[in-house]
Amino acid sequence: MSSALRIWHPFTNGALDPAPLLVRKAEGVYLYTADGRKIVDAISSWWVNLHGHANPRIGEAIAQQAKKLEHVIVAGFSHEAAEELAVRLRKWAPRELTYMFFSDDGSTAVEVALKMAVQYFQNLSRPGKTEIVALAHGYHGDTAGAMSVSDESPFTAPFQSMRYNVHRVHSAYCYRCPVGLKRESCHIECTNQLEELLKQRGEHIACVIVEPLLQGAGGMIVHPVEFLQRVRALCTKYDVLLIADEVLTGFGRTGKMFACDLANVVPDLMCVSKGITGGFMTMGVTLSTDRVESAFRSENRMHTFYHGHSYTGNALACAAANANLQIFEDEAVFDRIATIARIHGERLSHLAEMHQVGEVRQIGTMGAVELVANDAGYLSALRSKLYGFFLQHGVLLRPLGNVVYVLPPYVIEPEELHHVYDVITEAIETLL
Ligand SMILES: Cc1ncc(COP(=O)(O)O)c(C=O)c1O
């Protein structure tokens, strides 16, 4: 009998996928494996790492916090690291978002927002407003509610019975426009379907959830800002709450602190996670307007939001988040982001000329290449071939099927990012 449990890895098939690589240590953009490899983490370890692995400032902040207070129940109690984070986030978040509710990760931040939206209308004695609208190609996490608002995919296929019904409307996937138009001449007609739905069922709809400007796991699909602006306007018109899932886009990923800032849009609820702790600790936060929270502040105890997780508001995670935001204040983070964006732009424009490339997409620190494939989608056979090629060449990239994307930590040096693109170019030339 083996002396240890075997780790069941996520998104990994024990029969088909290579054995996981053992990472001994990491520093900056590099992972160092037990078998002596040095690998560039060009996807920030599932989009969480901002200022480099083992960033000493964040590490030290956690160590100091651990000596003082590791965790305390945050129902009936609070603590200094959480209070400090509330002040820091206030500086960066859209002004109208005045409350923050802690959870554990991106999925739970989404679950919280959805439940808040539904209970909000119940608390206002409008119990008929319970339905939820979500976008085609959306991804919001793997828990049951987050999976329900995510679009159908290989991730959700076995769980149809567990997914609740939502209204699914077009997203602005311009490369494969859902209404057959061209971006150069369109007027965001893809939102007409949402307007029709809200016109007909607005009285029953509680919220619309979107990944603002960038749909991540659905294929790194970049939306025009007008799409988000129109969705906001329609939500306001039909008295429906807008939930912005900024779990991926938050903390500088799109070039501004939040994607909503780029479009000058203020959602009613905003979910953040991933980058909030700089990639060190797990934490989710759902921000809300005063208007939403005030429906829960009531003489009626049944108006309470009865939701919470054991590790909610964890002090070590708060300390990491505070250190992360301090780095945004002290260091030239947005200059680094601008440099990454510039290099993405240069390199993608060359890749766009290759016949194997269908479309290139970019927003801020995210650069993506959609490759031409007759089996386009997450299960494209290209995925494993490319993944293996990249790793052999010392680069961690996890293509979403036939979509290769680069989403590096902000500390990546220009020559390191160019190297990542050199490897991508070689992979396309060799494998396609
Ligand atoms: C937009 C978005 N929402 C939610 C999630 C879920 O976050 P987590 O994996 O931390 O539960 C993700 C994860 O990739 C995401 O990209």
Distance 375 CA to ligand 1 centre (A): 25
Could you write out the three-class secondary structure of the chain?
Answer: CCCCCCCCCCCCCCCCCCCCCCEEEEEECEEEECCCCEEEECCHHHHCCCCCECCHHHHHHHHHHHHHCCCCCCCCCCCHHHHHHHHHHHHHCCCCEEEEEEECCHHHHHHHHHHHHHHHHHHCCCCCCCEEEEECCCCCCCCHHHHHHCCCCCCCHHHHHHCCCCEEECCCCHHHCCCCCCCCCCCCHHHHHHHHHHHHHHHHEEEEEECCCEECCCCCEECCHHHHHHHHHHHHHCCCEEEEECCCCCCCCCCCCCHHHHCCCCCCEEEECHHHHCCCCCCEEEEEEHHHHHCCCCCCHHHCCCCCCCCCCCHHHHHHHHHHHHHHHHCCHHHHHHHHHHHHHHHHHHHCCCCCEEEEEEECCEEEEEECCCCCCCCCCHHHHHHHHHHHCCEECCCECCEEEECCCCCCCHHHHHHHHHHHHHHHHHHC
Q: Does residue 243 have a pLDDT over 70?
A: yes
* Per-residue pLDDT tens over the stretch 80-113: 999 999 999 999 999 999 999 999 999 999 999 9
Could you give the percent of the chain with pLDDT greater than 70? 100
Distance 222 CA to ligand 1 centre (A): 17
Mean pLDDT score, 76-80: 98
Predicted confidence at residue 96, as pLDDT, reads 98
Predicted confidence at residue 69, as pLDDT, reads 98
Atom in ligand 1 nearest the alpha carbon of residue 146 = 4
* pLDDT level of residue 227 (50, 70, 90 thresholds): very high
Distance 430 CA to ligand 1 centre (A): 32
* pLDDT level of residue 213 (50, 70, 90 thresholds): very high
Distance 44 CA to ligand 1 centre (A): 14
* Per-residue pLDDT tens over the stretch 54-71: 999 999 999 999 999 999
Ligand 1 pocket: which residues have CB below 6 Å? Answer: 105-107, 110, 139-141, 211, 216-217, 245, 247-248, 273
Atom in ligand 1 nearest the alpha carbon of residue 216 = 16
Predicted confidence at residue 150, as pLDDT, reads 98
- Mean confidence (pLDDT) of the chain: 98
Cα–Cα distances (Å) from 104 to 71, 80, 283, 414, in that order, read: 13, 19, 4, 34
Distance 301 CA to ligand 1 centre (A): 32
* pLDDT level of residue 197 (50, 70, 90 thresholds): very high
Mean pLDDT score, 250-255: 98
Q: Which of 43, 107, 151, 156 gets mutated to test ligand 1 (max ligand atoms within 8 A of its CB)?
A: 107
Distance 279 CA to ligand 1 centre (A): 13
Distance 265 CA to ligand 1 centre (A): 21
Q: Whose C-alpha lies nearest to ligand 1, atom 10?
A: 106
Q: Whose C-alpha lies nearest to ligand 1, atom 4?
A: 140
Q: Whose C-alpha lies nearest to ligand 1, atom 13?
A: 141
* Per-residue pLDDT tens over the stretch 377-432: 999 999 999 999 999 999 999 999 999 999 999 999 999 999 999 999 999 999 99
Mean pLDDT score, 324-346: 98
* Per-residue pLDDT tens over the stretch 161-192: 999 999 999 999 999 999 999 999 999 999 99
Q: Does residue 2 have a pLDDT over 90?
A: no
Mean pLDDT score, 40-56: 98
pTM score > 0.85 for this model? yes
Q: Does residue 1 have a pLDDT over 80?
A: no
